[in-house]
Amino acid sequence: MRKFFVCFLMFVLFLSTAGVAWAQEWPEKEVEIIIPWEAGGATDVLYRAVAKYFPKYANGKQLIIKNVPGGGSAIGYGEGVKARPDGYTLVAAVNPVITRALMGPAPYHPIESFDPVCLLVNNPCYILVNSKLKKWNSLPELVEYVRENPGVVTVGNSGAGGGNHLVALCFESAFDLKFIHVPFDGGGPSVNALLGGHIDTVVASSPEGFPNVEAGELEMLAVFAEERLGKFPQFPTAQEQGYDFTAFMWRGVVVPKGVDPEIVEQIAEVFKAVLEDPDFQKDAENLGQNALYLGPEEFGKHLASEFERYQEIITKYGLGEFYK
């Protein structure tokens, strides 16, 4: 009887240990993350930086970047919704995951189609102009020109219905302005268009355009934050120039609905470890990334809150196709 009891305890211990081992198996293979924009934009740059350190905390497995541009991010998010819910297809969650669905028809619902994993960063937006071709030296000069010439100044964004587009629309509505909004398949292409002189300005978020600002090719006409960017302290905020307006782009991770909650927690822990890595933090600082980690539950609350906030703004100003 005693021998049987000892064997039973050993069996229970084995099951317990096996359970721990099973819980630590993710990932057993490479993990893919869908970026719903072209390469070179702020979201793409962030996750490529994350991917550099991902294997260190993910059993040596790589984080594969998959760019799926088009439809102002709707195509990428639509593909993410249809992915197998096994924890091996992740989706970059940025403001447009909400705004795009609120501005017009989309093949997903920002809250009901995904499970939240974690928030990674919260970055300020800004207005970029071409240093050689710029017509304005300050935000007040731009505003005055637009008021005198409505529907003339072009403002590029990373996709119709996206976060940067909505930021520009809100700025336009808040100060009674009229821009021409020009969508691109990501922040990178919009910056390239500005460099080529094809558009007048771009609303972007860090680190979009940073190398070009450092090279003196682009300038920030205004930063939409309470404080100037630490990397570029020479450029004033909108508030400093008399316009009480702030706007940020947050970036996190979601998965298609139905992923095992234990796997979701493990994914979140891997990204948390990357954010806390000293070398990643140095890279993030150089890229102008403001790290802000929220786990699955907190990020879920954040998404729900942002959904309500953006819906209120879009409804108030009659933006998009649903609320005109």
Give 257-295 pLDDT, tens digit per residue.
Answer: 999 999 999 999 999 999 999 999 999 988 888 899 999
Domain-embedded: residue 322 = no
Same domain membership, residue 160 and residue 105: no
Give the mean model confidence (pLDDT) for residues 88-106.
94
- Domain end marker among 248, 277, 304: 248
pTM of the model: 0.79
Phi and psi at 51, nearest 5°, equal -60, -30
d(CA 97, CA 163): 9
Q: Indicate which CATH number applies to the domain containing 209.
A: 3.40.190.10
On whether both 78 and 89 belong to a single domain, the answer is: yes
pLDDT band of residue 21 (cuts 50, 70, 90) is very low
Residues 118 and 253 in one domain: yes
| CATH number of the domain residue 80 falls in | 3.40.190.150
Q: In this predicted structure, what is the pLDDT of residue 90? A: 98
Q: Is residue 10 part of a domain?
A: no
Residue 259 and residue 217 in one domain: no
The whole-angstrom separation of Cα 137 and Cα 204 is: 18
For 179, left (φ over 0), alpha (ψ -120 to 50), or beta?
Answer: beta
End residue of a domain, out of 248, 276, 307: 248
Residues 82, 48, single domain; the answer is yes
pLDDT at 324: 63
* Predicted pLDDT of residue 7: 46
User: Is 18 a domain residue?
Assistant: no
The count of structural domains within the chain is 2
How do residues 288-309 score in pLDDT, each as one tens digit?
888 999 999 999 999 999 999 8
In a domain? residue 132: yes
Residue 205 domain boundaries? 124-248
| β-bridge partners, 63 | 31
Contact criterion met (CB below 8 Å) for 202 and 162: no
